[in-house]
Amino acid sequence: MPTRALEAFLAEPRPTPFLVLDTGLVAQRYTELAAAFPGAEILYAVKACPEPEVLRTLAALGSGFDVAGAEEIALCLDAGADPARLCHGNPVRGPGAAAAVAAQGVRRFVTDSAEDLAGLPAGAEVLVRVLVADDGAATPFLGKFGATPAEAARLARGTAGVAFHAGSQQLRSAAFAEGVRVALRVAHAAGIARPVLDVGGGLPVRYRAEVPPLDAYAEAIHGAVAAAVTAGDVDGVRLILEPGRVLVAEAGVLRTTALRVSRRPGIDHRRWVYLDAGRYQGLAEAEGEAIDYPVRAPGRSGPPGPVVLAGPTCDGDDVLYRRKPYALPLDLAAGDAVDLLHAGAYTASYASVGFNGFGPLPVHVLNAT
Ligand SMILES: *Cc1c(COP(=O)(O)O)cnc(C)c1O
């Protein structure tokens, strides 16, 4: 449920749609994560929510950052981040990109191919990303990144360590144990006795369904590291986490207005509720209904009935949920507020610049530090 600060903000009428974020909750999640992984280095994955106040909050708590390029690096440096705590985690680098990143003061790079590795600057701290199983993730990578373990072991000779990402919103804590096992076998094969072990992002957030607790993930990761030490694969690791979603999702509410509530005789027994934000105004992760935000109509208290939720544009794909069952009060009417909760991750930064004349999504930030 939204914090008191969020509820107080939402109680005031304002033009919609907008995203409102409470950085106090971001700080709380960071502190919980740091407590579950003592000694680990935490690098916030900036793409999940690049709002400057969010970055400032995390930098002040000592977080590092996982960045994809010059713009994200500049945002982090402006927010007070130490360049030594930045990791260029996107192995897709065009000609000259690695040198430009290094010129901004970044020394740590994740790579996954011989072609990319050859272009990394001398003296860089290199981590090699291994392809691991990402089934169980709501938004898997489907093989876009990572080298096979055999190839990764070749690439990792003489580097600082290994990395993986078990897919975003990963509901199987065992996927992290499997990832650690594979990655540390790669480190062993590459002759790295005490590797940096970057376990990526993927920690899940409660949307409409419960998810396993953070402790289950901490036990899976720590247990697999201990087993690899016992097996003699490595002497120990320097652990890195790259959380995105888990730090920011619950801190955000996306306030929309119902533009139309329609019965659709002969087409659907459900009401169709057309909102003023859809796929192109920040709800890209509703694609395939992969992420199902909790919704509420704060001004109505009537009994609920089933709905299809759709966005405002003329695009046929701009329907948020028609397979997954959603319900809103039967007295919902055009002009009513509809909130999507836990919407702080992968929303505002995904909004189009103006498809069909809608967007981008305004963002308000509370408790700014
Ligand atoms: C997007 C991304 C993350 C964050 O993933 P979440 O699932 O949001 O935690 C971490 N590391 C890398 C390399 C990423 O691309």
**In the chain, count of helices (H) and strands (E)?**
10, 18
Query: What's the CA angle centered on 2, arms 366 and 297, to 5 degrees?
Result: 115
- Give 220's DSSP letter: H
Confidence of residue 368 (pLDDT cuts 50, 70, 90): low
Q: Tell me the pLDDT tens digit for each residue of 105-133.
A: 999 999 999 999 999 999 999 999 999 99
CB 97 within 8 Å of CB 71: no
pLDDT digits (tens, 9 = 90+) for 300-318: 999 999 999 999 999 999 9
- Catalytic residue check, 76: no
Query: Is residue 369's pLDDT more than 60?
Result: no
Decide if 289 contacts 263 (C-beta within 8 A). Answer: no
Domains, the chain, in order of start with CATH, read: 23-248 (3.20.20.10), 250-366 (2.40.37.10)
240-294 pLDDT, tens digit each: 999 999 999 999 999 999 999 999 999 999 999 999 999 999 999 999 999 999 9
The protein residue with its alpha carbon nearest to ligand 1, atom 1, reads 45
- pTM as predicted: 0.97
Distance 257 CA to ligand 1 centre (A): 31
Instruction: Tell me if 307 sits within 8 A of 270, measured CB to CB.
Output: yes
Read off the pLDDT of residues 158-203 as tens digits, 9 standing for 90 and up.
999 999 999 999 999 999 999 999 999 999 999 999 999 999 999 9
CB neighbours of 14 closer than 8 A, spacing ≥ 6?
255
Beta bridge partners of 87: 66, 108
Which residues, including other chains, have CB under 8 Å from residue 156's CB and lie 6 or more apart?
A: 128, 162, 186, 187, 189, 190, 192
48 lines ligand 1 (CB under 6 A): yes
Q: Is 140 in the pocket of ligand 1 (CB under 6 A)?
A: no
pLDDT of residue 1: 82
Work out the angle between the directed axes of helices 52-60 and 23-36 (0-180°, nearest 10). 40
Among 43, 63, 66, 197, residue to substitute to test ligand 1 (most atoms within 8 Å of Cβ): 66
Are residues 164 and 200 in contact, defined by beta-carbon separation less than 8 angstroms?
Answer: yes
> Which residue lies with its CA nearest to atom 3 of ligand 1?
201
Quote the ligand 1 centre to 271 CA distance (angstroms). Answer: 36
